[in-house]
Amino acid sequence: MLKAQPNISMESCSYRHVLEIISNKWTALAIYAMEDGTIRYGEMMRRIEGVSQKMLTQTLKQLERDGVVNRKLIPSVPPVTEYSLSPLGESLIPIMRMLKVWAADNYDSVLEAREEYDSQRVRVKNEVSSK
């Protein structure tokens, strides 16, 4: 019997590469922060609960590198940095909204499934250990 050749490749799968961009929680939150237009760095820091300055800076640099975000430095004292979504980044908004709706509609089901799975695992473990 011939073994099927793999048709899903980690290297050639552009889907995987795109997921790397948007699957980070800080990336998604930064994109949501820019959804309504240009935003200053300090305002973004205030809007995104729990993000550190280092993490936000790294996230924005990566998004800029990926072509999702535009960065504008305004020479002033102190300097002001503004961020906005590029056209490529704006094209992500409908997709991110759909993910947000799916999460809101289905997260309770995910939690229930996790609890069910975990309780079954505990039950099986207890049965095995009691033998």
**25-81 pLDDT, tens digit each:** 899 999 999 999 999 999 999 999 999 999 999 999 999 999 999 999 999 998 899
d(CA 109, CA 99): 15
Tell whether the model's pLDDT for residue 115 goes beyond 90: yes
Cis peptide leading into residue 78 (ω within 30°): yes
| Closest of 47, 51, 44, 53 to residue 83, by C-alpha | 44
Model's pTM, two decimal places? 0.76
Residue 27, classified by CB atoms within 10 Å of its CB into exposed (0-12), middle (13-18) or buried (19+), is buried
